[in-house]
Amino acid sequence: MGIRGFVPFCPWNWCLLLATLQCCGAFSELNRSTDSSARRELNVRYAAASSQPAETISVFTLDYDYVQIPYEVTLWILLASLAKIGFHLNRRLPGLMPESCLLILVGALVGAVIFGTDHKSPPVMDSSIYFLYLLPPIVLESGYFMPTRPFFENLGSILWWAGLGALLNAFGIGLSLYLICQVPAFGLGDINLLQNLLFGSLISAVDPVAVLAVFEEARVNEQLYMMIFGEALLNDGISVVLYNILIAFTKMHKFEDIEPVDILAGCARFVIVGCGGAFFGVIFGFISAFITRFTQNISAIEPLIVFMFSYLSYLVAETLYLSGILAITACAVTMKKYVEENVSQTSYTTIKYFMKMLSSVSETLIFIFMGVSTIGKNHEWNWAFICFTLVFCQIWRAISVFVLFYVSNQFRTFPFSIKDQCVIFYSGVRGAGSFSLAFLLPLSLFPRKKLFVTATLVVIYFTVFIQGITVGPLVRYLDVRKTNKKESINEELHTRLMDHLKAGIEDVCGQWSHYQVRDKFKKFDHKYLRKILIRNNLPKSSLVSLYKKLEMKQAVEMVESGVLSSTAFSTPHRVQKTQETKRLSPEDVESMRDILTRNMYQVRQRTLSYNKYNLQPQTSEKQAKEILICRRNTFRESVKKGHSLPWGKPAGTKNIRYLSFPYSKPLPAGRDMKVAEFTDHDGSDSELPPITFNTHSPTGTIQERRWTPEVIPMKRLHGAGTPLHFGYRRNAGREEHLGRGGRAILRPKPLFHAVDEEFESEEESEEETPAFGSLLSSELRPGGDCNVSHSPLLQRK
């Protein structure tokens, strides 16, 4: 029903989606209808088989029971994935609602199908399955993708808020609901205090991942983002610990009274469980980092080590009745830094994707299961309890936010404004965690479990749908202080400078540096930990790797010098491109930022962009590789077509590249002579889009445009010659030739002839010397771009 409602948004996608949904539905339907008959047959067959071993083998049988659980789970996941595809095909929808809405809707759809067909859903969710298999991947993922630096910078506030906030919410909601239960008119008299507290603890587990996506899009300030992230990270752990302790209390309460000592013990236990879990996590994190040090020869095993050790930390902590969630989080945070440096690039990618995949599978399953259990008979509706739950959830969240932030603001340099606090209050979205905990309540201890589940579902639906959808507009409306992620290289530079400046000033001021602890850790880290944990003998002897490195370096250089969007060479839209040339293209800025990020000392990392469901592509190296390949191809193509000269390219095809300017040193003399020379081997000039050059003043500009491309290749080749020789040593003669060309740069007049020769000979022998070709083309390109980049600027006026 919900899905049909969205059909008008984008009929195409939704039709597609619906079709797939129906296919899947029909498919499982088919299976189900055959299922019952098959089962009967099967039973008969088994019965027969047990009594008479010499039965004939049937040619065709169906054994659905055997595969039911994995089969249906697979179908669910597939269905959810298809729905996600449809969801993201639509352009506007992801901006309108969080993805968890979609998952819940799909779950409800599956639930409706199951309910309608009277089919019994497989018991995917029970306590042990949830805690042993579904929960760890989710927690591991959020721990592993945590932006370490801002997290630790805001550690105090995060711990204060996430820890105390969860407790305050749990007890607040529990106690106030207990008061409500005392009102005889509501018929809730049989729910005792412990049960209420337990309900409070499970309902206070917020899951603001959906909100994080909104924040990222709205670019809210880093502090706010980290508060919500920290809450998402730690809240689960705290709620689960509380939940388990309260369950233990409830069990105990069945047989005897609870004494104050027990309560004290419970508090102590809470601390022990939390700290112990984190401790084990750190230990296992170090161990796994240490082990990945030795895996260079069997890199396929690296992801396995990472996953198994994280899981082991979880299991060990659980064995000792410590918090496995905190253990696995701590483990992920600890090892991430070292593992990333030890493992190979591919393993690293594998780890990331596998982690995303596992956690999204877990979450999908939980959400679908939530949908499934929404539609069914196991509900108990009590207006009073449910409404008050909803109200108290909001009230207590508001109280905890405003009280806790009032306190923590006293200690912060930059306090959270009221707007920030409002947004934090509003982002209290409940999710899979609350539902799972409610669903797993033991029925023997909680006779009103159905009521709890219903209330939890209502809270989740309310928060996910209403708050999740409206938080985006709210953030925009409140105009929360933004981070400045403008695409501006100046800004990037200034900010970096400022970071260093601040570090320097703190150093000058000496001992009371804010980052004192971090610096201490850094030194310790460099002195001991890194030496022990990180393998530093990078494979440098291997010839191949050296070559690759050089090639990569060259490509990265190209990226750096802004040749990045050369991939757009063959794309037909030219005029469009000239429009967006006022600023650096986003790719250029991105690549610059990349260089800055990777190469500076003690830089403050930006909040990594975090998305529960997706990975940001690892840009730099991949791009470099692509560019390299692309570059070769384009060069080859252009050579075949016969216009290899970069200045023959129509101007509008490329993005503007300011960066290539440094190479274009004006030559002192001989300008006038050149004009004639240029015009004759420049046939394609006439094809240039008129807009581009109409604005040129007739004198001077043409030569200037010419100047740059010709000069650059030789100059750059000359300069960068040494490392590049590696790849094409066999072309010794050519090199010589090149050398001559390079020297020719000093004498303006013969220069262009030299270049021409170069290119002609290149055309002939291009096939044998692809590396050389790519080199030349790559060297020429910046120049070629250079002449282009004039025009948009000129045009701007």
CB of 589 to another protein, least distance (A): 8
Name residues contacting another protein, limited to 131-170 (CB under 8 A): none
DSSP 527: I
686 lies in the binding site for another protein (CB under 8 A): no
592 lies in the binding site for another protein (CB under 8 A): yes
Q: Which of 584, 702, 717, 745 binds another protein (CB under 8 A)?
A: 584
Our CA angle for 530, 150, 408, nearest 5°, is: 130
CB of 601 to another protein, least distance (A): 3
User: Which window, 245-253, 270-278, 368-376, 579-587, contacts another protein (CB under 8 A)?
Assistant: 579-587
CB of 511 to another protein, least distance (A): 8
Name residues contacting another protein, limited to 737-766 (CB under 8 A): none
797 lies in the binding site for another protein (CB under 8 A): yes
695 lies in the binding site for another protein (CB under 8 A): yes
598 lies in the binding site for another protein (CB under 8 A): yes
70 lies in the binding site for another protein (CB under 8 A): no
Binding to another protein by CB under 8 A, coded x per residue (else -) over 362-401, reads ----------------------------------------
User: Which window, 142-150, 437-445, 489-497, 570-578, contacts another protein (CB under 8 A)?
Assistant: 489-497
Binding to another protein by CB under 8 A, coded x per residue (else -) over 199-238, reads ----------------------x-----------------
Give SS3 for 681: coil
Scanning the structure block, which residue is given the tokens 């711990």? 159
624 lies in the binding site for another protein (CB under 8 A): no
595 lies in the binding site for another protein (CB under 8 A): yes
Q: Which of 111, 562, 741, 748 binds another protein (CB under 8 A)?
A: 562
Q: Considering Cα of 638, then 642, then 645, then 651, what sign does the dihedral take?
A: negative
Residues 6+ apart with CB under 8 A from 796: 581, 582
Distance CA(578)–CA(30), nearest Å, equals 56
Q: Which residues of 194-208 are buried (b: 16+ CB within 10 A; e: fewer)?
A: bbbbbbbbbbbbbbb
Distance CA(711)–CA(350), nearest Å, equals 44
Q: Which of 461, 661, 678, 728 binds another protein (CB under 8 A)?
A: 661
Distance CA(295)–CA(707), nearest Å, equals 52
Q: Which of 708, 774, 777, 787 binds another protein (CB under 8 A)?
A: 708
**Residue in 162, 174, 241 with CA at minimum distance from that of residue 208:** 162
Tokens of 732: 């010794």
CB of 789 to another protein, least distance (A): 9
Give SS3 for 42: helix
Binding to another protein by CB under 8 A, coded x per residue (else -) over 282-301, reads --------------------
Distance CA(246)–CA(198), nearest Å, equals 6
Whether the Cβ atoms of residue 130 and residue 318 lie closer than 8 Å to each other = no
- Count of chain residues binding another protein (CB under 8 A): 70
588 lies in the binding site for another protein (CB under 8 A): yes
Residues 6+ apart with CB under 8 A from 179: none
Q: Which residues of 634-658 are buried (b: 16+ CB within 10 A; e: fewer)?
A: bbbebbeeeebbbbbbebbbbbbbb
CB of 497 to another protein, least distance (A): 6
Q: Which of 13, 561, 567, 774 binds another protein (CB under 8 A)?
A: 561
Q: Given the complex with another protein, which of 147 and 274 has the nearer CB atom? A: 147
DSSP 464: I
410 lies in the binding site for another protein (CB under 8 A): yes
**Residue in 38, 32, 39, 24 with CA at minimum distance from that of residue 120:** 32
Q: Given the complex with another protein, which of 414 and 477 has the nearer CB atom? A: 414
Q: Given the complex with another protein, which of 491 and 682 has the nearer CB atom? A: 491
Q: Which residues of 539-549 are buried (b: 16+ CB within 10 A; e: fewer)?
A: eeeeeeeeeee
Whether the Cβ atoms of residue 204 and residue 243 lie closer than 8 Å to each other = no
Q: Given the complex with another protein, which of 346 and 490 has the nearer CB atom? A: 490
User: Which window, 110-118, 178-186, 448-456, 592-600, contacts another protein (CB under 8 A)?
Assistant: 592-600
Q: Which of 91, 520, 573, 582 binds another protein (CB under 8 A)?
A: 582
Distance CA(612)–CA(145), nearest Å, equals 9
Residues 6+ apart with CB under 8 A from 461: 104, 374
Q: Given the complex with another protein, which of 353 and 521 has the nearer CB atom? A: 521
The string of DSSP codes covering 306-368 is HHHHHHHHHHHHHHTTS-HHHHHHHHHHHHHHHHHHHS-HHHHHHHHHHHHHHHHHHHHHHHH
659 lies in the binding site for another protein (CB under 8 A): yes
User: Which window, 157-165, 244-252, 558-566, 672-680, contacts another protein (CB under 8 A)?
Assistant: 558-566
User: Which window, 26-34, 87-95, 187-195, 412-420, contacts another protein (CB under 8 A)?
Assistant: 412-420
Binding to another protein by CB under 8 A, coded x per residue (else -) over 490-519, reads xx-xxxxxx-xxxxxxxxxxxxxxx----x
Q: Which of 254, 536, 601, 722 binds another protein (CB under 8 A)?
A: 601
The string of DSSP codes covering 740-752 is HHHHHTTSHHHHH
Whether the Cβ atoms of residue 534 and residue 293 lie closer than 8 Å to each other = yes
User: Which window, 277-285, 326-334, 427-435, 690-698, contacts another protein (CB under 8 A)?
Assistant: 690-698
Distance CA(638)–CA(408), nearest Å, equals 63
Q: Which of 189, 447, 666, 750 binds another protein (CB under 8 A)?
A: 666
DSSP 220: B
Q: Given the complex with another protein, which of 87 and 225 has the nearer CB atom? A: 225
Q: Given the complex with another protein, which of 253 and 496 has the nearer CB atom? A: 496
User: Which window, 114-122, 613-621, 694-702, 760-768, contacts another protein (CB under 8 A)?
Assistant: 694-702
Q: Considering Cα of 778, then 780, then 784, then 789, what sign does the dihedral take?
A: positive
Q: Which of 481, 530, 535, 737 binds another protein (CB under 8 A)?
A: 481
CB atoms within 10 A of CB 431: 28
Binding to another protein by CB under 8 A, coded x per residue (else -) over 774-793, reads ----------------x--x
Distance CA(785)–CA(661), nearest Å, equals 9
489 lies in the binding site for another protein (CB under 8 A): yes
Q: Which residues are near another protein by CB under 8 A? A: 221, 410-411, 413-415, 481, 484, 486, 488-491, 493-498, 500-514, 519, 557, 560-562, 582-584, 588, 592, 595-596, 598-602, 658-662, 664-666, 695-697, 704, 708, 719, 790, 793-794, 796-797
